[in-house]
Amino acid sequence: MADDSIAVVDLDRCQPDRCSYECKNYCPPNRTGKECITLRGEDTDEGQPEQIHISEEICLGETCGICVEKCPFDAIEIINLPKELQNDPAHRYGENAFSLYGLPAPQDGQVTGILGPNGIGKTTAIRILAGELEPNLGRHDEDVDWDDILEAYRGTELQDYIAAVRDGDVTVARKPQYVDQIPNTFDGNTRELLEQTNERGALDELVERLSIGPVMDQSIDDLSGGELQRVAIAATLARDTDFYFLDEITPYLDIGQRVTAARLIRDLAEKEDRSMLVIEHDLAILDLLADTLHVAYGEPGAYGVITAPKSVRNGINEYLSGYLDNENMRIRPDPIEFEEHAPRAASHTETLVEYPDITKSYGEGEFSLEVEGGTIRQNEVLGIVGPNGIGKSTFAKLLTGNLEPDTVGQDPTETSSGQSPLDAGDADLDLDISYKPQYVTIDQHMRVDAFLSSITDQFGSSYWNTEIAQPLQLERIMEQNLADLSGGERQRVAIAACLSDSADLYLLDEPSAHLDVEQRVQATSAIRRYAEQQDATVMVIDHDTYMIDLLADRLMVFDGEPAEHGRAGAPQPMRDGMNDFLANLEVTFRRDERTSRPRINKPDSQLDKQQKTDGEYYYA
Ligand code: ADP
Ligand code: ADP
Ligand code: SF4
């Protein structure tokens, strides 16, 4: 096969005892007597199942691809690597396994970002830089040691770093991607967890700035996702190491908390001259956070390429445009574009429901919420924004009838018969609502396909496949058990389940959590298309500004004092909504000159001050 092709077999999927070796039987070289596809691990006494092996020497490459078509379990990929990829891999896990090209280059005093999909080798790269994984330079059948690796990276920006790793001189602190799993590995309260990490004497400041104080004596088991995220960030930044690696800092955090976490990371780099490496999928925050950016692209699960560092501005712009300039590489057919001016509200849509003023409190002295009555329009995507703990989920529960309101005010839809769609004590708006909660807890022992087909009889139809399964990348996980899914997979199944139900209103709470940047883009367009084509009304609660911008027709803004009292304003046009919302946060956005992409302004910069004076926080 051509030098620039690889064959990748997913050994978790390959199960020759359940097919009749179709790949092997149909492979053209095999049919002429060559040993292209063979079996390995036949010695079942050692408990190794029989699996296939593809000779990359003999295989004819992507233009053949017969085995890929024949395999019933989607276990095989034959890929022509891009011609532009001239270097050897940094690491390959084995023959027919994932290979990684390029490594990020952390720099003292800088925040280095990595932007790209999951499964593209980011964790592999980090394990190499942390000295946990000795890369084999793609020569998986040879003995490669750190001296060989140093030789391969001589003269590059990684030379000094690799020399230090070889000498065992690099110390590393890491924040894991899935904070929800921390309670499984730690028994105790927040204070006990954090005190173990207090190596720089900076813990008190971190606890204060991340507002962890109120949960210091709470058991780790009882923390919410947002609290766990902040505790995990504090625990990582409190350590005294050379190199800090943070795998996603934003899931479950509101925008204020995201900006604070970004500033803490920047401070540690700038003031203490540390190297920070951050993987982040919220592009507005990544832009604020990083000094340089590596874009990662490739074929998730098969190969990944980490580009040389780019300026953050160029990296994000190129990513959004779908084309990497220096690499001469198209990574997506279409660009992602932002509207510079607030979209004009559509005037023709009909009203789905008008709801009255509502109040709800959880008891004497506990959280209370005031909802200003408003209108939800048929066929719109309504964005819902506001800090954590301000009553967004409470509002959702009032709408779904899972909570009863305390008082219901003047009802604008009251008819002459005096019938109200929402009475105190009866929160039923007479609407069927399909709800995806913030914390997705579908973990029964049931296969994804069985679960989804129990929700809709559209399951498997070509319409459903095109509009739901494909954009949410469900095909490859259909046969898996819900309980075995990763956070991002579970999120995609939950979004699909929510949209597949038949309902008057679809309510998605933080659909971006754990989705990589490419999946966010795809989920955004799936949700929008669904709303347009099904005449569906969708409400989306999210903290990713770009996602809300690309999704929402109008905005509903929550403000107040988190955990004490919240106020929900009526839905309003995007421009007014963004201004209200960002004024509460004191954050302004400017436009990138080349792409019109919104970028967070530096506080107190001239633009920031001017925009605040003008009252234009977003569409300036
Ligand atoms: P990311 O962090 O970008 O999600 P990873 O570096 O975790 O990606 O994984 C990239 C690919 O490498 C995945 O397809 C994964 O299955 C594969 N991989 C990870 N570890 C191993 C291993 N020890 N052996 C074989 N393949 C592996
Ligand atoms: P958001 O969705 O904006 O994060 P929530 O509506 O979940 O906010 O919660 C608002 C406040 O109400 C929080 O302080 C939360 O702790 C509190 N709260 C939520 N549910 C209950 C409940 N059942 N009993 C008492 N307090 C609650
Ligand atoms: Fe054989 Fe390669 Fe063709 Fe697969 S792609 S059938 S391994 S020649």
Q: What's the whole-number mean pLDDT along residues 259-263?
A: 95
Query: How far, in Å, is the centroid of ligand 1 from the Cα of 301?
Result: 7
Q: What's the whole-number mean pLDDT along residues 349-372?
A: 91
The pLDDT of residue 47: 57
ipTM rounded to 2 decimals? 0.89
The pLDDT of residue 535: 83
Q: Is the pLDDT of residue 425 over 80?
A: no
605 or 445, which is more confident?
Answer: 605
CA distances from 137 to 91, 143, 146 (A): 5, 10, 10
The pLDDT of residue 345: 64
Q: What's the whole-number mean pLDDT along residues 516-537?
A: 88
Q: Is the pLDDT of residue 210 over 80?
A: yes
Residue 70 CA: which ligand 3 atom is closest? 6
The pLDDT of residue 181: 83
> For residue range 302-317, what is the model confidence (pLDDT) as tens digits?
999 999 999 999 999 9
The predicted model scores a pTM of 0.88
Q: What's the whole-number mean pLDDT along residues 169-184?
A: 87
The pLDDT of residue 396: 86
The pLDDT of residue 2: 53
Q: Is the pLDDT of residue 283 over 90?
A: yes
pLDDT band at 347 (very low <50, low <70, confident <90, very high): low
d(CA 446, CA 443): 8
pLDDT band at 408 (very low <50, low <70, confident <90, very high): confident
Q: Is the pLDDT of residue 417 over 70?
A: no
d(CA 287, CA 311): 10
**Ligand 2 test: best mutation among 358, 369, 390, 394, most atoms within 8 Å of CB?**
394
Q: Are 432 and 379 in contact (CB under 8 A)?
A: no
Q: Is the pLDDT of residue 541 over 90?
A: yes
Buried b (16+ CB within 10 A) or exposed e, 553-585: bbbbbbbbebeebbbbbbbbebbebbbbbbebb
The pLDDT of residue 282: 94
State the residue for tokens 């309101």: 405
Q: Is the CB of 307 under 6 A from ligand 1?
A: no
Q: Is the pLDDT of residue 1 over 80?
A: no
Q: Give the binding-site residues of ligand 3, using a 6 Å CB cut-off.
A: 27-29, 36-37, 54, 59-60, 64-67, 78
The pLDDT of residue 46: 55
The pLDDT of residue 104: 95
pLDDT band at 418 (very low <50, low <70, confident <90, very high): very low
Q: What's the whole-number mean pLDDT along residues 64-86?
A: 88
Q: What's the whole-number mean pLDDT along residues 453-465?
A: 91
The pLDDT of residue 515: 92
For 208, counting Cβ atoms within 10 Å of its Cβ (0-12 exposed, 13-18 middle, 19+ buried), the class is exposed
pLDDT band at 432 (very low <50, low <70, confident <90, very high): confident
Query: How far, in Å, is the centroid of ligand 1 from the Cα of 485?
Result: 15
State the residue for tokens 């300036």: 620
d(CA 323, CA 337): 13
Q: What's the whole-number mean pLDDT along residues 441-465?
A: 89
> For residue range 374-399, what is the model confidence (pLDDT) as tens digits?
999 988 999 999 999 999 989 988 88
Q: What's the whole-number mean pLDDT along residues 512-523?
A: 90
Query: How far, in Å, is the centroid of ligand 3 from the Cα of 63?
Result: 9
Q: Is the pLDDT of residue 211 over 90?
A: yes
Sign of CA dihedral 327, 328, 333, 336: positive
Non-local (6+) Cβ contacts of 341 within 8 A are 619
The pLDDT of residue 414: 44
CA distances from 423 to 108, 332, 410, 432, 434 (A): 61, 50, 11, 17, 21
Q: Is the CB of 321 under 6 A from ligand 1?
A: no
Q: Is the CB of 120 under 6 A from ligand 1?
A: yes
Q: What's the whole-number mean pLDDT along residues 338-351?
A: 74
pLDDT band at 422 (very low <50, low <70, confident <90, very high): low
Selection from 295, 269, 398, 304 nearest residue 99 by Cα: 304
Residue 23 CA: which ligand 3 atom is closest? 6
Q: Beta-carbon neighbour count of residue 277 at 10 Å?
A: 27
By mean pLDDT, which of 157-166, 178-187, 303-312, 424-433 is the weakest?
424-433
Q: What's the whole-number mean pLDDT along residues 417-441?
A: 63
Domains contained in the chain, CATH given: 5-80 (3.30.70.20), 353-585 (3.40.50.300)
pLDDT band at 76 (very low <50, low <70, confident <90, very high): very high
416 or 131, which is more confident?
Answer: 131
| E strand or H helix that includes residue 567 | strand 565-568
Q: What's the whole-number mean pLDDT along residues 150-157?
A: 90
The pLDDT of residue 420: 39
pLDDT band at 412 (very low <50, low <70, confident <90, very high): very low
Q: Is the CB of 421 under 6 A from ligand 2?
A: no
Q: Is the CB of 136 under 6 A from ligand 1?
A: no
By mean pLDDT, which of 281-290, 301-310, 402-411, 419-428 is the weakest?
419-428
Q: Is the pLDDT of residue 579 over 60?
A: yes
Task: Give the residue whose CA is nearest to atom 2 of ligand 3.
Answer: 59
Q: Is the pLDDT of residue 50 over 90?
A: no
The pLDDT of residue 344: 65
Q: Is the pLDDT of residue 533 over 90?
A: no
For 610, counting Cβ atoms within 10 Å of its Cβ (0-12 exposed, 13-18 middle, 19+ buried), the class is middle
Query: How far, in Å, is the centroid of ligand 1 from the Cα of 119?
Result: 6
The pLDDT of residue 342: 74
d(CA 210, CA 228): 11
d(CA 306, CA 167): 25
Q: Are 87 and 137 in contact (CB under 8 A)?
A: no
SS3 468: helix
The pLDDT of residue 596: 87
568 or 187, which is more confident?
Answer: 568
Q: What's the whole-number mean pLDDT along residues 548-570?
A: 94
d(CA 10, CA 12): 5
